[in-house]
């Protein structure tokens, strides 16, 4: 009864704030501990770190454990409270772009034109006299009331559709090939020859993940510019999901756009949630030396391959941490060694300390379960996924304190040893 009354009180506060004309980000600030669930801008730290500084490669220090996600990039002190987190998050974003994936350019809203054609969202992005057009068909629920929550599949949605159709949640797909191909290969392809490259020919080092994240954000620009009256979509309840390489894509898209309320990364493997450092200590797994370098900057392997990985100023737990205070659920499958799930387990627990420090640990969870095919979610994992969808796309009270891994993981892969700063 007490929980019901608290939820009702919070709902009433949001209704009053909405009536008074407060934007979504401020309305959500009325929630638990004054920490929002989502924002109405792509990057809250855009004005906080405008001229990042990077340590020269020959001056980077070696760290054999995971870097402290709270420590400022200049090494002087660390984040003490949530108010400072937006700046630290922006620092991490710049580091990942600089060392790993290349620049994700910003686009002003006045350079975006958007329209709906039947149920298809069409977004025209104008840059340097060039135009790139993105399309995404929205599958609306047959029941419920607009505006609807929306789950976007990165490349595709490998989760059962019934999770969304039964809950009156709209679905869409972000086709990354509108921006860049799966592997940048083929006679008519290669770095510098894709749609994104025609807008930004100077970004010759970019890997696909920065460009895919850029395209995903432009779809959100279109939804935001048209508004719920036109799109019938609730911008405060948008999720992104994907599996395998698209699990990485979902993670990058969600991490780099704070308008996403829920990120579900399904079996993302190395270069996604799995730590570069930890993966190097494992067997036949995707690690920094063995990944598709069409997805990342080729200089990543040159600068940080083999033992030099310990000089990388950050690691994948910080990509995860970029999603905080928003919600993240990681889904693993230890039957496939290549996915490096023990490494993801370490990263997840290290990243979880960020949510814990701000008192919102229920917004980050992981479920690593064997006994099923790749990208084929078993019924045993349904409850975890449904709990996150219900809480963060529908606003229901559910238990999302989910920490599921094989029994031997805690003894064999001691995340505490990798995170001495915890």
Catalytically active residues, by annotation: 244, 374
Structure tokens at 387: 């709990």
| Selection from 213, 205, 211, 210 nearest residue 301 by Cα | 205
Phi, psi of 38 (to 5 degrees): -165, 170
Distance CA 364, CA 345 (A): 12
Give the 3-state DSSP-derived string for the chain, with helices as H, strands as E and coil as C: CHHHHHHHHHHHHHHHHHHCCCCHHHHHCCCHHHCCCCCCCCCCCCCCCCCCCCCCHHHCCCCCCCCCCCECCCCCCECCCHHHHHHHHHHHHHHHHHHHHCCCCCCCHHHEEEEEECCEEEEEEEECCEEEEEEEEEECCCCCCCCEEEEEEECCCCCCCHHHHCCCCEEEEECHHHCCCCCCCCCCCCCCCCHHHHHCCCCCCCCHHHHHHHHHHHHHHHHHHHCHHHHCEEEEEEEEEEECHHHHHHHHHHHCCCCCCEEEEECCCECCCECHHHHCCCCCCCECCECCCCCCCHHHHHHHCHHHHHHCCCCHHHHHHCCCCCEEEEEECCCCHHHCHHHHHHHHHHHHHHHHHCCCHHHEEEEECCCCCCCCCCHHHHHHHHHHHHHHCCCCCCCCCCEECCCCHHHHCCHHHHCCCC
Report d(CA 100, CA 293) in Å as an integer. 10
* HSE value, Cβ hemisphere, 13 Å, CA-based, for 226: 23
């Amino acid at each position: 009864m007490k929980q019901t009354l608290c939820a009702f009180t919070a709902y009433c506060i949001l209704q009053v704030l909405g009536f008074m004309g407060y934007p979504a980000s401020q309305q959500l600030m009325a929630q638990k501990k004054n920490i929002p669930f989502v924002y109405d801008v792509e990057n809250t730290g855009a004005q906080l770190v405008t001229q990042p500084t990077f340590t020269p490669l020959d001056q980077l220090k070696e760290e054999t454990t995971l870097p402290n996600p709270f420590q400022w990039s200049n090494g002087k002190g660390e984040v003490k409270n949530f108010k400072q987190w937006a700046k630290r998050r922006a620092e991490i974003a710049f580091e990942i772009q600089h060392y790993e994936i290349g620049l994700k350019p910003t686009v002003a809203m006045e350079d975006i034109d958007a329209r709906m054609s039947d149920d298809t969202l069409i977004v025209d992005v104008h840059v340097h006299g060039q135009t790139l057009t993105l399309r995404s068909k929205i599958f609306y629920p047959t029941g419920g009331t607009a505006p609807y929550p929306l789950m976007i599949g990165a490349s595709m949605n490998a989760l059962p559709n019934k999770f969304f159709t039964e809950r009156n949640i709209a679905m869409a797909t972000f086709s990354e090939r509108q921006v860049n191909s799966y592997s940048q290969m083929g006679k008519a392809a290669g770095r510098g020859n894709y749609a994104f490259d025609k807008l930004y020919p100077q970004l010759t080092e970019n890997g696909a993940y920065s460009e895919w994240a850029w395209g995903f954000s432009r779809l959100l620009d279109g939804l935001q510019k048209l508004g719920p009256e036109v799109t019938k979509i609730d911008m405060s309840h948008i999720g992104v999901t994907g599996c395998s390489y698209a699990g990485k894509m979902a993670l990058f898209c969600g991490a780099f756009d704070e308008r996403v309320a829920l990120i579900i990364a399904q079996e993302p493997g190395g270069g996604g949630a799995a730590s570069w450092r930890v993966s190097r200590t494992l067997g036949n797994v995707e690690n920094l030396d063995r990944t598709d370098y069409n997805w990342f900057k080729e200089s990543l392997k040159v600068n940080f391959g083999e033992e030099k990985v310990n000089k990388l100023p950050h690691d994948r737990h910080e990509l995860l941490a970029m999603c905080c205070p928003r919600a993240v659920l990681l889904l693993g499958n230890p039957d496939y060694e290549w996915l490096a799930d023990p490494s993801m387990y370490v990263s997840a627990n290290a990243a979880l300390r960020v949510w814990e420090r701000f008192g919102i640990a229920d917004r980050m969870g992981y479920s690593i379960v064997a006994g099923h095919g790749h990208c084929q979610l078993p019924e045993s994992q349904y409850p975890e996924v449904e709990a996150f969808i219900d809480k963060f796309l529908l606003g229901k009270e559910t238990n999302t304190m989910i920490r599921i891994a094989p029994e031997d993981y805690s003894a064999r892969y001691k995340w505490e040893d990798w995170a001495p700063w915890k």
